[in-house]
Amino acid sequence: MTAVSPPSETTPRVRRGALAQSVVDSLVVARRNLLRMIRIPEMVVFGLVQPIMFVVLFTYVFGGSIKVGATISPQAYREFLMAGIFAQTVTFATAGAGAGIADDMHKGLIDRFRSLPMARGAVLTGRTLADLVQTALTLVVLAGVALIVGWRVHENFGKVLLGFLLLLLLGYAFSWIGALIGLIVRTPEAATSGGLIWLFPLTFISNAFVDANQMPAFLRTIAEWNPFSATVQACRVLFGNLPPGFVTPDAWPMRHPIVASVLWSVVILVVFRTLAVRTYRSATG
């Protein structure tokens, strides 16, 4: 084999500011993760099966028997339900981010990245950005299925779009929780279950699938302050999906759901991004 170029050879390097480097590095890593998603399509497909199953099950199995607002009507429940399923779906992206990061740790890729002179948070930002793209695609497919089973919006395009943006922001914030879990547990299997288990109580003790007004007082308080409920309520308002006779609770996040949704997402994002980047820097593979 011929000599592998001598070390005297200078490396052409583009000098950028810290922020620009951070953006470029994140995009390089995001591209890598998107390529992986294209080459492992079964992961994207399985990510879709569960929410589609929920749409169908809740619509047809529970739809005729759950009272929302003042009515028991399959159509009212169908419209009520979708914001909940959408929100649950975006938070399930947590498991994907966690499993991906844990897999990278396990395979030694995190070591490789950490030995490179790249921006500190870029490996995690790249991963979460790729998950955001996947979440957006999932939402598009899911909204299509929802339309097929009879979901309708009753507000203008701008409001509906804002609703979906709130969902994406929530999903992005939650993927940082997943990133942190992935860095801590280190095996993809543990990250998948560790990323999902706590999501079930979180998404069920909320207004996602039932009208929280009908819960016992204690649970109702939890549901109303659940970060997850704020986004669900905001989407119902923005989609025009509040059921007839729905009484908006007095809790502040339910009265100001859009602001509450943004606040909750930003707080989760800042806290968990900080923790995850710190953990990444001291990760020991």
Told to check if 279 binds another protein by CB under 8 A, we report no
Q: Which one of 17, 41, 115, 158 is in contact with another protein (CB under 8 A)?
A: 115
Told to check if 17 binds another protein by CB under 8 A, we report no
Contacts of range 151-159, beta carbons closer than 8 Å, 24 or more positions apart: 151/78, 151/79, 151/82, 152/79, 153/239, 153/240, 153/241, 154/239, 154/240, 154/241, 155/238, 155/239, 155/240, 159/238, 159/239, 159/240
Told to check if 19 binds another protein by CB under 8 A, we report no
Of the two residues 159 and 186, which places its CB atom closer to another protein in the complex? 186
User: Which residues in the 22-51 window bind another protein by CB under 8 A?
Assistant: 24-25, 28-29, 31-32, 35-36, 39-40
Work out how close the CB of 274 gets to another protein at its nearest, in angstroms, rounded to a whole number: 19
The residue assigned the tokens 């050879």 is 9
Q: Which one of 49, 202, 245, 284 is in contact with another protein (CB under 8 A)?
A: 284
The DSSP output letter for 59 is I
Of the two residues 120 and 256, which places its CB atom closer to another protein in the complex? 120
Cα dist from 84 to 78, 96, 260, whole Å: 10, 20, 16
Residue 16: what residue type?
R
Residues that bind another protein in the complex, under the rule CB under 8 A: 1-9, 11-16, 21, 24-25, 28-29, 31-32, 35-36, 39-40, 107-109, 111-118, 122, 282, 284-285
